[in-house]
Structure formats: structure tokens, C-alpha cells
Amino acid sequence: MSLAHALLTSLLEQPSSGYDLARRFDKSIGHFWQATHQQIYRELGRMEKAGWIHSEPDPEAGRTRKRTYAVLPAGRDELMRWAAEAAPLTELRDEFLVRLRADAVVGPLDMVPECVRRRALHADKLRAYRAIEARDFAPEAEPTRRRRIHHLILKAGIQYEQGWIAWYDEALQVLAQE
Amino acid sequence: MSLAHALLTSLLEQPSSGYDLARRFDKSIGHFWQATHQQIYRELGRMEKAGWIHSEPDPEAGRTRKRTYAVLPAGRDELMRWAAEAAPLTELRDEFLVRLRADAVVGPLDMVPECVRRRALHADKLRAYRAIEARDFAPEAEPTRRRRIHHLILKAGIQYEQGWIAWYDEALQVLAQE
DNA sequence: TCCGACTATGCAACCAGTTGCAGAACTGTA
DNA sequence: TACAGTTCTGCAACTGGTTGCATAGTCGGA
């Protein structure tokens, strides 16, 4: 049940509507825990039933159905309880590696263009992360605890993308030997 | 539908029973695409219905229900078709990072022991991969195309684990600043 | 000969995530 | 004022993965 807890975290950082949450999510926690808006709405409903959050019509919403969600004490407690739990190790799970292994048996199918494409996508992500880093974690800014942790999390993403870029470079070398 | 194709690959490498497949899977493709035996049996059933594979009672099975599965030409064609397709990028999806971000809001909850534990698990995996590398990809062995690709895939795992180990080392440093 | 461990297969229920679609209000513009 | 595009919410159906359990045969040892 990571999504519920990811949403709790995000709502604690700032109470917001489902839609805003979905968009903000994409730009923060979404970098390492993706969710569609459907999932988010469904989960918000469950969380409200569980008494973790509370919603009311957005005061600035006019006649729209927009609602603002905020975390209740029970939700905060639940988040603390959950965060302290041990999490299962995230294992490598990569469809492209399955395809590459298939290529080793039934190929060669020329995986080079796909490697090039994927390397570029990882490079895009890395660039985006670097931009966030430059903007939000400039060395002269005061490093509060929260900032240090957010930076650390961002570095996980940077490390992940860099690893793949390096690997695709090697893959291209290996696949070129033909 | 990666699992079906992962199984086709594995069955092409060697026809086998569901049970053997499940065990072999754990030691090869399972390193980057996990599946339980339930999933494997269900998928084998579907694949047989689709005409991709064919099964018959294992000749050495005696009175057990053991069946051996082998790939049919249609299955091989399907695998080739699929392997050449573009795959969506595998995004970072890590529950621990969600917990860490929760800790930044409601903490500190002392994530150090969990970091230590996770670092050790990654180190275990890395050691296992290194052992496979030393055993199967010794530099003096003749590097066929298939071997080169299998080695490349293994290196993806090595790179992945190394990346996390380095990151957890940094995380421990950051979390110690308190 | 009984028992526990292991091999081998499978059903049923459940949960999380995905896809496709749609309704309703608001905003800008032709 | 009519329309297109965007914001915001949500239902329904489906797929893939997980969990718990059931069954049935084999093998070795107390």
C-alpha cells in the first residue's frame, strides 16, 4: 500500500485537490513512484473512508466539484507507523533485458536502434534531474534536514539514470561486434 | 505480456516442465523478471491454448502429473515479433524512497538500520552475480554471440546493485548528520 | 509402516495498476 | 454565442501479480 502513504506524504507537504495532487505527484514523488489520476482518486476515496484524510469543497472552486484533501491525525500516525516498517527490496525488473535475452536465442534482430532510443530517454531524465538539482539544491542554500533528504532521494534518481546510460553505452559496444 | 515471452525464451533454451522452469527461471531470467510458480503455470496454460507451446507427459515422470513443454514454430515467431518491438522505459519505482520522503515530513524515524539492512541485501546480490560471472564468463572462454549477450545482461544486474550500494553509503552519511 | 520433506501441479480470491471512456464546469477566442 | 480546449472528477472492465490453500505422488529415515 505504498500509494496511499505516498499521497499522505504529499498531502502533508501541502493539502490539495485530487487533480493538483496528481500533477504535483508527477513532479516529485512520481519520479520514483508513478500513479495515474484514476489510481489517485480511488485511493483518496479509500483513505477518506479509513479516516486518514478529510475533504471539503474547495472554497475557490465555484460550482465545480473540486475538493481539497487534508491529512487527519490518524493519517499522520499511520504514515509514521508505515515509514518505520521494513520494505521489501526493489528488484531489477526490466522488460528490455527480457527482449535482449530473447534476441540471444532467436536473433540477431538488431537491437541497436532500440538501445540508442532508450539511452536517449535515460539521458533526458538525467538532464531533468540535474536541472531540478541546480534549481532546488544549490550549494549555497541552507541545508535543512528535509532538504538534505530530498536531495538524497533525487540523487537516487541521478544514480539510476547514470547507471543505465553507462550500461547502454556498453550494450551498444557489444552489439556492434557483429 | 513479458512473462509469456520470458518463458518462451527459457523454453527455447531448454524444454522443461513447469516446475523445472520455475526453478531455472529463478536462476536466470528471474534476476530481472520475477515470477511465482502460480504465474508460470497459469501462463503455460494460456500459451498452450494460443498454440505457442505444446506439452506432453514427461517420459520419465512415472505416475506423476509432470509434463514437458516445448516451443512450437508459432511461439518462436511470436517471440521474434515481440522482441523487436519497442518496450516502455523501466522507471525507478522504489518503496523505500517513498518511506524516506515520509520520514522527511513526519520524522526523524531513524532509517539507519533499514539502510544498513538494504545495503547488505544489495551486497549479497552483487556477490551472487559476481560468482556467476566468474563461473560462466571467464575471460578465457570463447565469447559466442549468445555468451556476450548473457554477460551483458548480467552486467546490468551488477551495475544496478553497485549503484544502490553506492547510494546507500551516501544515504548513511547524510542520515548520520543528526 | 508411518511420517515428514520434497517434487509437482493447480484452483480461487484478491489487490494494484492500466485503459478507455465520459460527464461537467470553466476559459479563451472566433 | 458557439466551439475548442483545459480542468476536474469519476465509473467500469480488464490484466498482471500475490496469497493461501489443496492435491498427489516420491523418497528416505525412525
Question: pLDDT digit string (tens) for A33-53?
Answer: 999 999 999 999 999 888 899
Of A91, A122, A152, the CB nearest to B174: A152
Rounded distance between C-alpha atoms, residue B144 and residue B114, angstroms = 42
What mean pLDDT comes out for the span B46-71? 81
Q: Does B173 touch chain A (CB under 8 A)?
A: no
Q: How confident is the model at residue B63 (pLDDT cuts 50, 70, 90)?
A: low
Taking each helix axis from N to C end, the angle separating B18-27 and B37-49, rounded to the nearest 10 degrees, works out to 120
Residue A18 has pLDDT above 90, yes or no: no
Contacts with B, A 46-105, CB within 8 Å: 76, 79-80, 82-105
Rounded distance between C-alpha atoms, residue B56 and residue A19, angstroms = 53
Using the structure, give the distance in angstroms from the CA atom of A36 to the C1' atom of C19, rounded to a whole number: 11
Asked if B86 lies within 8 A of A29 by C-beta distance, the reply is no
Q: How much is the pTM?
A: 0.89
Size of interface A-B (CB pairs under 8 A): 196
User: Chain A: residue nearest B108 by CA?
Assistant: A145
Tell me, what's the pLDDT at B67?
86
Using the structure, give the distance in angstroms from the CA atom of A31 to the C1' atom of D29, rounded to a whole number: 56
Rounded distance between C-alpha atoms, residue B7 and residue A59, angstroms = 55
Per-residue pLDDT of A108-166, as tens digits, reads 888 999 999 999 999 999 999 999 999 888 887 778 888 999 999 999 999 999 999 99
Q: How confident is the model at residue A64 (pLDDT cuts 50, 70, 90)?
A: low
According to DSSP, the residues that pair with B55 across neighbouring strands are: B69
Per-residue pLDDT of B2-48, as tens digits, reads 899 999 999 999 888 888 888 888 888 889 999 999 999 999 999 99
Q: Taking CB atoms and an 8 Å cutoff, what residues of chain A touch B178?
A: 145
Would you give the distance in Å from CA B109 to the centre of its chain? 32
What mean pLDDT comes out for the span B65-91? 90
